[in-house]
Amino acid sequence: MFDFEKLIVYNKAKSFNKTVYAFLSVNNFDRTTNDQLRRASFSIMLNIAEGTGRQTQPDKKRFYTMSRGSVFECVAIMDYLKDIEKLDQNEFDLFYAKLDELSRMLYTLIKR
């Protein structure tokens, strides 16, 4: 087992990515929005995985910071979808809560 597979934050990021994938499979957004949301959510988990493989703390921190940036990107996309009425408030709140939790967990990894 690789170290990243043991991290709760990685498993939550993977679960979020699967949720986004399912969400996009039943919604018909424009190609750019679909692609950007899919890539940003995937980037969260991939950067966590890559960060655990780095040898130095500054290098690990850089990847965890990029992962957190992808969380923020997902929040912005969800906010946009809510504003154009492609995402209702309840769905937005569910996504937002998951992203907030990921952000907090990544912040802890970054500061550690």
Residue type, 87: L
pLDDT tens per residue, range 6-35: 999 999 999 999 999 999 999 989 999 999
- Per-residue pLDDT, 28: 84
Share the mean pLDDT of the chain: 97
Confidence band of 59 (pLDDT split at 50, 70, 90) = very high
Q: Where do the domains of the chain lie?
A: 3-111
Mean pLDDT of 48-76: 97
Q: What are phi and psi of 64, to 5 degrees?
A: -65, -35
| CA distance linking residue 108 with residue 94, whole number of Å | 22
Which value, to the nearest 10 degrees, does the dihedral of the CA atoms of residues 63, 68, 74, 80 take?
-130
End-to-end CA distance of the chain: 23
Domain 3-111 is in which class?
mainly alpha
Contact assessment for residue 36 and residue 73, using Cβ atoms and an 8 Å cutoff: yes
